[in-house]
Amino acid sequence: MHTNQTRIMLKKQQRGFAATPLLLLSALILAVILFVVLSNRQASDGPVPVVWDKTPCAFCAMHLGDPRFAAQLSTEDGVTHFYDDPGCLFLHERELDLDPTTPVIHARWFRDLDSDGWIEAAEVAFRRCEDTPMDFGFGAVKNVGPETVSMEEAAAEVLAR
């Protein structure tokens, strides 16, 4: 009986050893797939679609419910942050700038108050508004005029609060 138990144990060990290369191969394949997926992330060249009333603000965590005041910021590593108010973007950007591990900012987009489109940061101006989602008081517009301020001026006012 002692030899019978020994044979059974040997067979179990042999099956375990046979499964080991298969597990290693599976783990290797999974690692390669994960590497390819993560290394192919690229920063978006345009604004990313938003799921309204579902997407949370990266700064205050409120859902983006009023498209007129939405904003987004993308980093070089392909991550896009969404905001329910331009002021939230300005405050979050300051936090990102203070963190040395944060990837470089690739682009900023602001929803146009006057249309359903997005405005790139290089072309944006801000008009003072009442009742913005977080009460920072600015809405993005494309046309610079006497009633608008630059992005730098709007950001400075928000950051001074």
pLDDT in tens, 13-26: 666 555 566 666 66
Total number of domains constituting the chain: 2
Distance CA 130, CA 68 (A): 12
d(Cα 117, Cα 64) in Å, to the nearest integer?
15
Residues 83 and 154 in one domain: yes
37-46, 61-70, 97-106 — which one is most confidently predicted on average? 61-70
pLDDT at 37 over 90: no
Asked if residue 147 and residue 76 are part of one domain, the reply reads: yes
Looking at the fold, whether 34 and 101 belong to one and the same domain comes out as no
Task: Give the strand pairing for 125-128 and 148-150.
Answer: antiparallel
Has residue 121 been placed in a domain?
yes
The radius of gyration of the chain from alpha carbons, rounded to an integer in Å, stands at: 26
Same domain, 150 and 95: yes
Domain holding 130, by residue range, is: 67-159
pLDDT number for residue 54: 97
Domain check: are 17 and 76 in the same one? Answer: no
Residue 30 phi, psi (nearest 5)? -65, -40
Does one domain contain both 36 and 98? no
Q: pTM (2 decimals)?
A: 0.73
pLDDT band at 156 (very low <50, low <70, confident <90, very high): very high
Residue written as token pair 């517009």: 141
Tokens 């990837």 locate to: 103
Burial 114-128 (b: 16+ CB within 10 A, else e): eeeebbeeeebbbbe
Q: Which of 156, 154, 157, 107 minimizes the C-alpha distance to 126? A: 154
Instruction: Report whether 96 contacts 102 (CB < 8 A).
Output: yes
Nearest to 132 by CA among 60, 80, 49, 75: 60
pLDDT value at 59 more than 90 = yes
Report if residue 127 sits inside a domain.
yes
Q: Do 133 and 97 reside in the same domain of the chain?
A: yes
Mean pLDDT over 2-30 rounds to 61
pLDDT at 34: 46
Q: Is residue 109 over pLDDT 70?
A: yes
Q: How many CB atoms lie within 10 A of CB 53?
A: 10
